[in-house]
Structure 1
Amino acid sequence: MNEVILSETLEAFRSGDISLEETLDKLKSWPYEDLGFAKLDHHRAIRQGFPEVVFCQGKTIEQVVEIMDRLVSHNRNVLATRASSAMYEAVAKKIPTAQFNEMAKLIFVHQEDITVDGDRVVLVMTAGTSDIPVAEEAAVTAEVMGNKVERVYDVGVAGIHRLFAHQKLIDKANVIIVVAGMEGALASVVGGLTAKPLIAVPTSVGYGANFNGLSALLCMLNSCAAGIAVVNIDNGFGAGRLASIINHMR
């Protein structure tokens, strides 16, 4: 349920196209719907501008299918993260319009175009190729939420000349997401090259002393470059969502 759907429902009632009973039936699960194993927040799109996003990890395939089916009945665009191919195949049988990005592990249903401002670019960068799955989670999330996204991958500090070749794109970007594992140094370097808001995403990529992303997280939190915000380890979705919020501000 977003503002457009709510407005259309109320206008249809006012014009007499639907009865009071039909209107109440459409609104009866608002603001949330209790499925027993999940309470779906159908009010979230009105509060936050995008519907509740499904975190699939730890859920059964059947639960994911039912949650997605109910969300799609109330919202035109729906997103699910940390999804498996098996989950997508089951969802697609119920919702033929569902799409899947295997690398990002995202299922999304796109039934309504969101106006995209082509002058406001979200730039997603990675230190290495191994960081791309997390970066794609961020990039696709931002795209689904109505943002123009550019990608620059594998420009880590071990070959820093690769980064400098993209300075014009860094300058053009409105928001930058930097995804890096190992020691996570790329966020500090890019942060020192731009005045734009930068969202740093530590990944669990690295050898033993990386501590599954903890070293990159601490490096990013301790960056001396100003204007850097840090999300949790491997949290591409959180970075994409935050970048979208910033990019849509006026």
Structure 2
Amino acid sequence: MSSLETTNDLQQLLEAVANQKISVSAAQTQLTRAQNIDDLGFAKVDLSRSKRNGYPEVIYGAGKTATQIIEIIGSLKRHAENILCTRVSPEKYALIHAAEPEAVYHEMAQCVALTVKPLPTTAHYIAVVTAGTSDMAVAEEAAVTAEVYGNQVKRIYDVGVAGIHRLFAHLEEIRQAQVVIVVAGMEGALASVVGGLIEKPLIAVPTSIGYGTNFGGLTALMTMLNSCASGITVVNVDNGFGAGYSASMINHLSDTEDDK
């Protein structure tokens, strides 16, 4: 029995425990992983994701109407701690804010955040580093994502290789971070440079910023994937959310280890 989707499934599980065909701990595991879905018709909201993954479902705002986003937020509010919606235009946010006045809009990141239950902030911080000012929108998506999930974040922007002395001025601050996110477009060289100077995990984010042969971020992506610096993990083009999410998971592991 891989999931519990009906009352009959639950009855069978309880009978199996009563007949000693399954242990109490095994049954508890199945109950913890049980599917809990709110079917809104246009969306099936995964209400048990935080139990499985540690984080609630995130709303991808692009392609959804403001009304749909509002309904999904209403569903998640009863089960989530912090709600995050990415890729939301200012026009959509105006409608969302009318329905959810406590929702906060991060304009550069194009993210909407709603705190249902405040989370403690991590002792360790994540450094978000950009090559240029033009990469800041993607970097902000990463930074806001990490902050929504209770991480301390330090932003270090516009320190690309064209003026590499700017990077060295912040190098110690970057080295003290528990996880580093490097966001770069053009040829994407900054990730390799930083990766060769630190001993912490580095998540590289290629951006679509650049001239013709940047190919919408493909050049930066290939540079990062082929980096000779060890310890670099690469996410998709412009995927600040993915970088912030992964960095949060790593950073929280560090805090958990410190608590032991």
Equivalence map 1:19-98=2 (5 Å): 31-98=36-103
* Aligned-residue offset at 1:30: 6.2
Q: Which moved more, 1:203-212 or 1:69-78?
A: 69-78
Whether the aligned pair in 1 keeps the contact of 2:77 and 2:116 (CA below 8 Å) is no
Equivalence map 1:131-146=2 (5 Å): 131-146=135-150
Cα distance in 2 for partners of 1:122, 1:216 equals: 22
How many residue pairs get aligned? The number is 221
TM-score scaled by length of structure 2: 0.83
Mapped pair 1:233 → 2:232: no
Residue 117 (structure 1) aligned to one of 118, 122, 135? 122
In the alignment, which residue of structure 2 is the partner of 1:176?
180
Which string of whole-angstrom CA distances, capped at 9 and with x for unpartnered residues, describes residues 116-170 of structure 1?
Answer: 223x110000000000000000001001101000010000000000000111102
In the alignment, which residue of structure 2 is the partner of 1:209?
213
Residue 159 (structure 1) aligned to one of 156, 160, 163? 163
Residue 197 (structure 1) aligned to one of 183, 194, 201? 201
Residue 133 (structure 2) aligned to one of 129, 133, 146? 129
What SS is found at the alignment partner of 1:74? coil
Cα distance in 1 for partners of 2:112, 2:68 equals: 14
Cα distance in 1 for partners of 2:125, 2:89 equals: 29
Cα distance in 2 for partners of 1:68, 1:117 equals: 25
* Aligned-residue offset at 1:76: 3.1
Larger Rg computed on CA atoms: 2
Cα distance in 1 for partners of 2:86, 2:42 equals: 18
Whether the aligned pair in 2 keeps the contact of 1:68 and 1:91 (CA below 8 Å) is no
Amino acid corresponding to residue 206 of structure 1 in structure 2: G
Q: Which moved more, 1:197-206 or 1:91-100?
A: 91-100
Which string of whole-angstrom CA distances, capped at 9 and with x for unpartnered residues, describes residues 51-80 of structure 1?
Answer: 100001111222112111211233231000
Cα distance in 1 for partners of 2:246, 2:222 equals: 20
**What RMSD in Å do the two structures reach over aligned CA positions?**
1.2
* Aligned-residue offset at 1:86: 1.8
Task: Point out where structure 1 has 5 or more consecutive residues left out of the alignment.
Answer: 1-28
* Aligned-residue offset at 1:114: 1.2
Report percent identity of matched pairs.
Answer: 58
What SS is found at the alignment partner of 1:229? strand
Cα distance in 2 for partners of 1:107, 1:87 equals: 10
* Aligned-residue offset at 1:50: 1.6
TM-score scaled by length of structure 1: 0.86
Amino acid corresponding to residue 130 of structure 1 in structure 2: S
Whether the aligned pair in 2 keeps the contact of 1:201 and 1:234 (CA below 8 Å) is yes
In the alignment, which residue of structure 2 is the partner of 1:25?
none
Whether the aligned pair in 1 keeps the contact of 2:81 and 2:118 (CA below 8 Å) is no
Which string of whole-angstrom CA distances, capped at 9 and with x for unpartnered residues, describes residues 201-226 of structure 1?
Answer: 00000001000000000000000000
Amino acid corresponding to residue 169 of structure 1 in structure 2: E
Which string of whole-angstrom CA distances, capped at 9 and with x for unpartnered residues, describes residues 165-189 of structure 1?
Answer: 1111022100000000000000000
Mapped pair 1:220 → 2:190: no
